[in-house]
Amino acid sequence: MAKKPNKDDILSKIRKQGSGTSGGDASAADAAAEKPKAAPAGGPADIMAKIRAQGASGSSSGAAEEKPAAAKKAAPKSPADIMAAIRSQGGGDAGASAAKSADAPVKKAAAAAAPAGDLPPVDEMLRQMKAGKVSGGEAAVAAAPAKPALKVPVRPAKKSAAAGASTRRGFVSWFAAAWVLLTVTSATWVLGLARFMFPNVIVEPPSQFKIGSPSDYPLGTVSTKWTAARGIWVVHTDQYKGKSLIYALASVCTHLGCTPSWLEGEQKFKCPCHGSGFYMTGINFEGPAPRPLERVGLAVAPDGMLEVDKSVKFQEEKGQWEDAKSFVDASLV
């Protein structure tokens, strides 16, 4: 064997040398120990396997420290398995000392196994004991798990009744407090956000404003006076359907929303972004703009001043320029 000696090898060697038992036993232990992927010692499976190996070998040497890897075949996963292992151990004649050394771990294992309900095996063991088939040593093994198995449900129940209840109640209240706090905070945020939408002071100019007397806008002119501040041109022309009208055009290109420039020399609005062009009337004639500039509301206020209402729009292609609110007839003022 060219294997590196691992812990199992060393232990099996020691056992081979130290034990005065038959060769078959040693070789069996050796074969078991040679399995490289031995389950790690410490789990209930190991302990059970240990007990079983001792019982099967019939050795009463009490060498409980060795950790054979025979657990692989059994590989107990559930409390039922563990109990089965204990039961199978009863078939052999384990020494009392082995039982004693295994007593404490078995207690633990039984304690762990207890909630899963292992009464039938215990009953069976008790019945076996009554039948007189087992020795006293074995009875000790069988009785050992029985005691804690009965006690375990009682003791934790007491504890949970005393300490557990107060802990859970405290936990629930803290949890609720955290949730309430979170909800209140979030609600405050949302309310604050909603409040943000209604500022105390709006810095933008009002949508209705007066732009002076109609006589300020002579026929055939485009006034750019209000473009920079209010985004409108005031046009007075008779080129649209032959009537002398004053109206206000929104200075937003109908293609992509840039602000066109009024070119006095060419008598047209020209957009710097994609080259759309509009006549003085606002009708599109060049470039990609698909529709005329939009008019905004214009009316004569009671004091004779022109008043623009930017909150309404009038689109030529929808026939809205016929609306009397979209222009002021210059011949009537």
Smallest distance, Å, CB 248 to other proteins? 14
Query: Phi-psi bin for 47: left (phi > 0), alpha (psi -120 to 50), beta?
Result: alpha
Provide the 10 A C-beta neighbour count for residue 215. Answer: 10
Close Cβ partners of 42 (under 8 Å, ≥ 6 residues apart): none
- The DSSP code for 38 is P
Nearer Cβ to other proteins (29/293): 293
As a whole number of angstroms, the distance between CA 49 and CA 76 comes to 9
Smallest distance, Å, CB 314 to other proteins? 13
Smallest distance, Å, CB 285 to other proteins? 6
Nearer Cβ to other proteins (53/271): 271
The values of phi and psi at residue 24, to 5°, are: -60, -40
Nearer Cβ to other proteins (45/327): 327
Nearer Cβ to other proteins (15/255): 255
Smallest distance, Å, CB 281 to other proteins? 15
Q: 């054979």: which residue's tokens?
A: 68
Smallest distance, Å, CB 191 to other proteins? 30
Nearer Cβ to other proteins (65/286): 286
Close Cβ partners of 277 (under 8 Å, ≥ 6 residues apart): 268, 269, 270, 271, 284, 285, 286, 287, 289
As a whole number of angstroms, the distance between CA 280 and CA 224 comes to 12
As a whole number of angstroms, the distance between CA 125 and CA 240 comes to 111
Q: Which residues bind other proteins (CB under 8 A)?
A: 227-231, 251, 254-256, 258-261, 263, 265-266, 270-275, 277, 285-288, 290-291, 317-319
Nearer Cβ to other proteins (88/259): 259
Q: 């470039």: which residue's tokens?
A: 287
